[in-house]
Structure 1
Amino acid sequence: MTHAEIVKQVAWKDLKDLSIREMLIENNLTLPWLFSSWLLAYFGYYALALPCSAFFFLTGLRQVHNGFHNSLGTNKFLTWFTLFSNSVLMMASIHAVKFNHIRHHKYCLSEEDYEGKSAGMSWYGAILYGPVHMFLIHKVTLQLGNRKYVRNVIAELAAIAAFAFIVFYFNIAFLMYHVIVMVFGEFLMAFFAVWTVHHDTDEHPEMARTQRGGWKNKITFSMFYHLEHHLFPAVPTIKLPELAKRIDEVLPELEKKNTF
C-alpha cells in the first residue's frame, strides 16, 4: 500500500489542531526536566540529575520536532524562539537539524538524505558515527541552506559558543555538567533519532518503525510513533497515539516494525 493510499483511508486532518491545554503542554514539556536537572546538579546530586537531563533532551527533541512541522500551535516568532532557545540549551543549531529533517522527509534514506545516513549502519556503527553526523548536519545546512537558514545557524552557533564560554570561564559547575551531558546526547542522535526508527526499512523508507505498548510510549514521550509521523508529519506528537489507534483500526494488515 502506498503512502497516498494510506493517507486517503485514515482520517487525520482534525488531529492537526491543538487545544489551549495541548498547546501549553507541548510548549512547556521540557521545563520541569530542565529545572529539576539543574537543581539536582547545583547541589551535587549528579546521578539523580542525569535521568532528568535525559528526559529534558528527549522532550526537547519532541518540542523542536513539532516546531519543524509548525505543530506547536504558536505563531512564527514563538516557534522560531523555541528553536533558537533549545539550540543553546541542547548545544546544537536546531535550525541546522530542521533543514536536514525536512530534507529527510523529502528524500527519505536516499543519497540526498544526510540525516538518514546512519540508518544503513550497524547499531554500534551508528553510535560511533554520532560526532560525524552532528558535524555533517551543520556543514550541509551552511552549504545548501538559503540565507535565512544560514543566518539562523550562525546566530545559534554564536549563542552556543557564548553560553559555553560564560559557563566554563566562570566555572559554573552545574551548567558545565549540563553542557557536557547535552553534547554527549547530540553525539547519540544518529543512533537514537535515526537508526532506531529507520534501520532495515530500505525497501519502503516511508514505512518507518513504530512503537506499540502504553508504558514504552509513556517513558519515551510518544517519540517512537515514527511510522505515524512519516505518514502524517503535520500531526503533533501529542495526537500520535490517537492517530496510531485510527491506523490500526482502518489498516490492521499494515506491517508495523517495532522500534524496541
Structure 2
Amino acid sequence: MKTRKISTSHFTLTRAQQIMELSRPWVLLAVYVLLAWQQLWWLAVPVAFATCLAAFVQLHDSIHQSLGLTKKSHSLLLTLSALLLLKSGHALKVTHLRHHGQCLSEDDPEGEPAKWTLKEVFLNGPYHIFTLRFASLRIAPNTRRLQLLETGLTVLLLVGFIALYSMTGSLVGLVYWAVAFVLSALMPLWASYIPHRMAHRNPARLAGAQSAQFWTPIISSFAFHHLHHTYPKVPTALLAKAARELPEPEAHQH
C-alpha cells in the first residue's frame, strides 16, 4: 500500500529562532576563545564541546537546507560550520545524504558503525573519520574539488593552531582541535550506533525526547533520529514539536 506523503512545510523557523540557530555556534566559539585566553580551562573545555555540538546541529540543518536560507547560503554555511569541527562540510553532506537514501545498506559508510559491536565502535572511531572522507570522494567525484578545498582549509587551521602555540605558547587552538577530534572519534557512537541500535520506544530514548524540549543536540540525535529519517526537512530545533504533531514513523522507515 502506498504511503501518503505528509507535508512538513509549516515546520519553519521563526525569525528569532533562525537568528538563534545561525548565531549559536559562533557565539559559543567567541566565549570559548575568551575563556581559553584567560586560561579558565575548567570552563573553556566544556564550552568547546558545546561549540562543536552546536556546529554539528548547524551543519546537519545546512545539509538538509532547513534553516530558511537560499541554496547558496546553505552551502556557504555548510562549509563554515564544518570548519568548526575541522571537517569538510560537502564531504559530510555526500555521506549523510547517502545514509538517508540507502540507510544501513552495503554502501552506507555513515551508517556502517551501527553494524559494529560496541568495542569496534570505540576502536574504529578515529579511523572511521578518514574512511568517510575517501567514501565521499568516491560517491560524489563531481564535488571533489570543493571537498579537497575544505579539507585543505582544515589542515591550514591545524597548522595555524600549531603556529600559535609555537610563537606564543597559547593552547587555545590546540585544545579546541583536541575537543573536536574527540567528538569526531566518538561520532560513530552517538550519531550512528546509539540512534540505530536503540529501539524508538526504548525508555532511554523516550526520556531523551521528554528532556529535549530545549536545545539538546546530543539527546536529539538519538531521541528523534527515527523522526528525522522520515521528515528530514524539519529543522533540529523543531523536532520536539514535530514529534508531538506528526504521525509516528514505523520502525522499518528508518
TM-score (norm: length of structure 2): 0.85
Pair 208,114 (structure 1): closer, same or farther in 2 beyond 3 Å = farther
Does 1:77 find its partner at 2:66?
Answer: no
Of the candidates 184, 191, 201, which is equivalent to residue 193 of structure 1? 191
**How far apart are the structure 1 equivalents of 2:23 and 2:228?**
21
Aligned residues: 242
Q: Which residue of 2 aligns with 1:176?
A: 174
Q: Which residue of 2 aligns with 1:14?
A: 10
Q: Which residue of 2 aligns with 1:237?
A: 236
Following superposition, the deviation at residue 184 of structure 1 comes to 1.6
Q: Which residue of 1 aligns with 2:211?
A: 215
Pair 162,174 (structure 1): closer, same or farther in 2 beyond 3 Å = same
Structure 1 residues 69-108: aligned runs within 5 Å: 69-108=64-103
**How far apart are the structure 1 equivalents of 2:60 and 2:201?**
16
Q: Which residue of 2 aligns with 1:53?
A: 48
Q: Does the 8 A contact of 1:229 with 1:240 survive in 2? A: yes
Gaps in structure 2 of 5+ consecutive residues? none
**How far apart are the structure 2 equivalents of 1:157 and 1:41?**
26
Following superposition, the deviation at residue 89 of structure 1 comes to 1.9
**CA deviation string 1:76-111 (max 9, x = no partner):** 232122121223221111211110000000110010
Q: Which amino acid aligns with 2:181?
A: V
**How far apart are the structure 2 equivalents of 1:104 and 1:37?**
32
**How far apart are the structure 1 equivalents of 2:83 and 2:228?**
26
Does 1:228 find its partner at 2:224?
Answer: no
Q: Does the 8 A contact of 1:208 with 1:230 survive in 2? A: no
**How far apart are the structure 2 equivalents of 1:45 and 1:183?**
21
Pair 11,74 (structure 1): closer, same or farther in 2 beyond 3 Å = closer
Following superposition, the deviation at residue 215 of structure 1 comes to 2.6
> What fraction of aligned residue pairs are identical, expressed as a percent?
25
Any idea what SS the aligned residue of 2:75 has?
helix
**How far apart are the structure 1 equivalents of 2:214 and 2:85?**
22
Gaps in structure 1 of 5+ consecutive residues? 202-206
**CA deviation string 1:156-192 (max 9, x = no partner):** 1111111111220231421111112111211111111
Following superposition, the deviation at residue 240 of structure 1 comes to 0.9
Following superposition, the deviation at residue 217 of structure 1 comes to 5.3
Structure 1 residues 8-47: aligned runs within 5 Å: 8=5, 12-15=8-11, 17-47=12-42
TM-score (norm: length of structure 1): 0.83
- 96-105 vs 237-246, which deviates more? 237-246
**How far apart are the structure 2 equivalents of 1:220 and 1:121?**
26
**How far apart are the structure 1 equivalents of 2:228 and 2:122?**
23
Q: Which amino acid aligns with 1:218?
A: F
**How far apart are the structure 1 equivalents of 2:201 and 2:20?**
26
Q: Which residue of 2 aligns with 1:204?
A: none
Q: Which amino acid aligns with 1:183?
A: F
Does 1:119 find its partner at 2:117?
Answer: no
Q: Does the 8 A contact of 2:158 with 2:177 survive in 1? A: yes
Q: Which amino acid aligns with 2:156?
A: A
Give the alignment's Cα RMSD to 1 decimal: 2.5
- 215-224 vs 174-183, which deviates more? 215-224
Q: Which amino acid aligns with 2:108?
A: D
**CA deviation string 1:9-46 (max 9, x = no partner):** x663321x332222212211212322222222211122
Pair 208,140 (structure 1): closer, same or farther in 2 beyond 3 Å = farther
Pair 195,208 (structure 1): closer, same or farther in 2 beyond 3 Å = farther
